[in-house]
Each structure stands twice: as structure tokens, then as C-alpha cells.
Chains A and B, each alone.
Chain A
């Protein structure tokens, strides 16, 4: 595994201050760290392990088990293509291909300029608007390959 160095752990300490120093806080803390950094820096995991009194191996195990966490820095805009059943039968795979074609990244990958990351999500619960793509915070319902292009502008 390649480490991406991270020196500023002040956000991690601020997050830790909000939770009891115990194992049940682990996933909650990691959620917030993921949100703060857009990924889980190794140094942050080490700090969290030390402060919560959870072995580092357990922290790493949790960080790799749950899909909400990523150990690699994510792009500034995260494109989540929902692959729930309703989205699947209404053409989610075509949307993934469209993003792949336009950005040259596959699911789980990030563009070289760190502008975009592509992720697939197993159902975001917006099935009535299938197929759904979430660009950053915006939900795009009834998404079409042809209309997706407008959201993939690097100028945004």
C-alpha cells in the first residue's frame, strides 16, 4: 500500500473531541474523518487508534470493511452511480460506461488531476427516479448518458 502523507491532524483531534474514547465511537469517528479529508489518511487512522484505545489492526480492518471509507484521496467531485436494482434495469451500466468514456476512470478510480472520482453505490434509496447519479451533493434522477455530460465539466 502506498502511503499518502498527511501532516495536519488538527481536524482529526477536533472530531475525536466530540466522541467518547471507546471502541463504539470508531465507525462514527471514521465517518467524520472521511468527510473532513475525503479519505482516511494513514496518520489519521493511527491517531484514532491511539486515542480510542483500539488496536491499529482493528481500525484498519474496519476502514477496509465498510464501503463508506476510502484509503485513497478522492477527487474534488465524487460521482456516485447508483447500481440498485431499479437503476440496474433502467440502465445504470450505460451511465457508468459514459463516465468511463468521458473521464477515463473506472469505478473506484480518480482522475489524474483529482477533479473526479467515480464510485458505484448499492442503492441510495431514490429508486423511483431511477437511474440515479449523485454528482457531489446533487441527485440527478432519470439520468441519461446524453445529459450526464453537463455534470462532468471540469469548469464547475
Chain B
């Protein structure tokens, strides 16, 4: 297992893991905006920059992003060098100019002493920081209903043709992973609306709650080869059922519902 030094601490980290995990395991806080355990690292927000050096480099060090840098034996990491902090400050300053009204960015920038941007304010303030979490989670679900559109300064996240996305199943994964709450949706009893697309909901036959879109149930059923009826019961009711079964089992009774419950 590689042994490295982070901010003076000796840290062991398994081969094939990234520096960010090693830092966090050692209790060292590193700011991130585009990182999430559910998706592959991306390296877009650049907030997790750290300095890396080795004794034989004679004082030369390189700046890397911790989320993508694989741990190596013998490296010495400085997560709070002046140039690391300054780079993070400029990145936050830039993000604050882009998203001046976004609480998460205001708070993070504030914690680095940036309370007001030194750059030109975005004339159309947005909450989208283009972290790519929404598109990555959508890809991860195997749906890919939304993507990045255009490039450079004009880049944005949108569905194809900026119309209600045909592939979207209304699972809300994008909205839930969005760190700034930029992706909005509406939910009223029995209906859901996201990306301008309306979805019909399935009601749980047990509790009557509208908990999943029809499209989502169809998608997962088609993808996993599981009968659609499996998705009809909501998770809460499934858990209740499982608990009831377990109690019965503990009491000595046997029921065929076990298989379904443990899937």
C-alpha cells in the first residue's frame, strides 16, 4: 500500500485510489464542487488542487487535482500552500462572478475570504456551475437524456434541441445531485414535471403514494428484466413488508415473500 505524506501526516492509501480519498481519510478537508461518489471523477471545478512533490525533485512541485491524481508511494502533498489557496480563491472569485446569487458559492467563496467578486458580474446570474454532475449521473443511469451543449463561454446543460427530452424518464437524479439546486422540478400528486416534460406517476398499491414515474418503472423494468410490478410498490412499503416477513420468520413461520424482499 503506498505511503504518502499529506500536510505533514503520514498516510497509507490503497493502490488505484485517488489523492482526494486519501486526504479525506486523513481528516484533511478539500473543497470540491464537481465530485460525487456516485459518478466518475471529472476534474472540472479545479477546487481540489493540491501541490505534489518528491524529495528528489529538489523543491520543484506540481499542482494536480486531488480527485483524479492516483496515489503514489513517497509523494509529499501540500493541500494549503499559498499558491494552492490563491488558485482556489481565483476559481471561487470566477464562480462568484458567474453565480453571484448562489448560496453554496457565496458560502464557499466566503470561507476563502472572497466576499465580492473582482470580475465582471454575470448579467444573467445563474445557479449552474457546469460541474457536470447532472449529465454524469444521467449517463450513469444509462439514460443520457441531457448533455452539455455548445462549448467555451457559451457552454450550458440542456436536453436535445432544448426541447422536452425524449429519453428522460423523470427519475430526478439530476435534480437531486445538483449541488446548487439549479435543476428544478415540479411535483404535484400524481404528476411530475422536469426539463419541460410531464410525467405520469405510478401509485404504490399499498400506501397509495405516487412515488415513481411510469416511464422510470418501464425503463428499469426493460433494462433489468425485472417485472414492472416490482417497481410499483414504493421502497417504504417494501421495507415494511420485509420487516414484517423477518418478524414472522423469527417467529418460526415461513413465507415465500422472502425472495422478493431481499432482492
Contact = CB atoms under 8 A, between A and B. Distances in A.
A57 B150 contact: no
A72 B162 CA distance: 14
B146 interface: yes
A66 to B, nearest CB: 8
B144 A58 contact: yes
Contacts of B166: 56
Nearest to B150: A64
Contact of A45 (B147, B151, B160): B160
B147 A1 contact: no
Given A42-B161, A45-B160, A55 B149 contact: no
A52 to B, nearest CB: 13
B145 interface: yes
B82 interface: no
Interface in B146-165: 146-151, 158-163, 165
Interface string A35-55: 000000010010000000001
Contacts of B163: 1
Contacts of B148: 61, 65
A18 B43 CA distance: 37
Contacts of A58: 144, 147
Contact of B161 (A3, A55, A65): A3
A5 B148 CA distance: 24
A56 B151 contact: no
Contacts of B161: 1, 3, 42, 60
A5 to B, nearest CB: 13
B150 A59 contact: no
Q: Is the interface of B mostly helix, strand, loop or mixed?
A: loop
A55 B150 contact: no
Interface residues of A, number: 13
Given A1-B163, A60-B160, A55 B151 contact: no
B4 to A, nearest CB: 37
A65 B149 CA distance: 7
A1 B88 CA distance: 36
A136 B5 CA distance: 61
B235 interface: no
Contacts of A1: 161-163
B40 interface: no
A57 B151 contact: no
A42 B146 CA distance: 16
Q: Which of B145, B147, B167 has the most CB of A within 10 A?
A: B147
A56 B146 CA distance: 9
B165 A57 contact: yes
Given A56-B165, A57-B159, A65-B150, 5 more contacts: A1-B163, A42-B161, A45-B160, A60-B161, A65-B148
22 contacts: A1-B162, A42-B161, A55-B143, A55-B144, A55-B147, A55-B167, A56-B160, A57-B138, A57-B144, A57-B146, A57-B147, A57-B159, A57-B165, A58-B147, A60-B147, A60-B158, A60-B160, A61-B147, A61-B149, A64-B149, A64-B150, A65-B148
